[in-house]
Amino acid sequence: MLTATLAAAAAENRAALVGYLPAGFPTVDGGIQACVALLEGGCDIVEVGLPHSDPVLDGPVIQTADDIALRGGVRIAGVLRTVREAHAATGAPVLCMTYWNPVDRYGPERFAAELAAAGGAGCILPDLPVEESEGWRKAAEQHGLATVFVVAPSSGDERLAKITRAGSGFVYAASLMGVTGTRASVGEQAAELVRRTKATTPLPVCVGLGVSTPAQAAEVAAFADGVIVGSAFVKRLLDAGDDLAAGLADVRALAGELAAGVRTRG
């Protein structure tokens, strides 16, 4: 389904829009509703984050949301429930984005089996070295899950080729060095990174980190197969405070605006 969704966007001569929200934020039920709102608003794919107490890639906005989720008691069961219900409500591909330690402690085979049973399309593992990924990749392949790796502007061409050979589904290209968050500019390095990555693989390349406006989405859509937006959605929910209905309306509206942006293609 993930591959078909990305191919369908390409057939429409546009980039796919990929949204991200952490599970359990603002609550498990609220997070499920927010994921559904993203998909109904215009996202093609959603990434459900597994909140982590020591994130290395996430900026302050997502860290704040993760803290709220963890203090609310979210566990892997809540993450899997979010995947299951978001997929069941929309039929869209839903991935889990997680650091490796929780999966390793839970058991890679068990996690892969339960993610697949929940209807998950795959897993994004930003801190799992390719050299140590064979066990996970075998479990994921057995259960029909994509394994999405992250590449960065600092990745040399040889390293890019090694990463993209091991991955499946798509390649997550970090648009710049640093952590997630909204920025005034997406970064000139992104287009060059996509070009170099595409030279190593037929997989779609989706760009994330820093995209927050329709104009930025259009800019990235001009050279990438997918545009990934996370912090901007999380910020809308944070800004809404205890008014979940307002937050859901805001993220739905932003999804629609960004969906229009990826159809502009710069």
- Annotate the chain with three-state secondary structure: CHHHHHHHHHHCCCCEEEEEEECCCCCHHHHHHHHHHHHHHCCCEEEEECCCCCCCCCCHHHHHHHHHHHHCCCCHHHHHHHHHHHHHHHCCCEEEECCHHHHHHHCHHHHHHHHHHCCCCEEECCCCCHHHCHHHHHHHHHCCCEEECEECCCCCHHHHHHHHHHCCCCEEEECCCCCCCCCCCCCCHHHHHHHHHHCCCCCCEEEECCCCCHHHHHHHHCCCCEEEECHHHHHHHHHHCCCHHHHHHHHHHHHHHHHHHHCCCC
Q: Is the pLDDT of residue 253 over 90?
A: yes
Question: With bands split at pLDDT 50, 70 and 90, how would you rate the model's confidence at 58?
Answer: low
- CA 72 from centre of chain: 22
Question: With bands split at pLDDT 50, 70 and 90, how would you rate the model's confidence at 179?
Answer: very low
CA distance 53 to 70: 8
Whether omega for the bond prior to residue 126 falls within 30 degrees of 0, making it cis, is: no
Q: Do 114 and 61 meet the contact criterion of CB atoms below 8 Å apart?
A: no
CA distance 151 to 173: 5
Of 4-8, 216-220, 242-246, 250-254, least confident by mean pLDDT is 216-220
Query: Mean pLDDT across the stretch 67-85?
Result: 97
Question: With bands split at pLDDT 50, 70 and 90, how would you rate the model's confidence at 264?
Answer: confident
**pLDDT digit string, tens, across residues 193-206:** 999 999 999 999 99
Query: In whole angstroms, how far apart are CA 61 and each of 25, 100, 211, 233, 253?
Result: 12, 21, 14, 10, 19
- Active-site residue set: 47, 58
Q: Is the pLDDT of residue 103 over 50?
A: yes
Q: What is the pLDDT of residue 209?
A: 79
Question: With bands split at pLDDT 50, 70 and 90, how would you rate the model's confidence at 210?
Answer: confident
Residue written as token pair 């078909």: 4
Q: Is the pLDDT of residue 105 over 60?
A: yes
Query: In whole angstroms, how far apart are CA 199 and each of 51, 170, 193?
Result: 33, 14, 10
Q: Do 164 and 197 meet the contact criterion of CB atoms below 8 Å apart?
A: yes
Query: Mean pLDDT across the stretch 199-227?
Result: 93
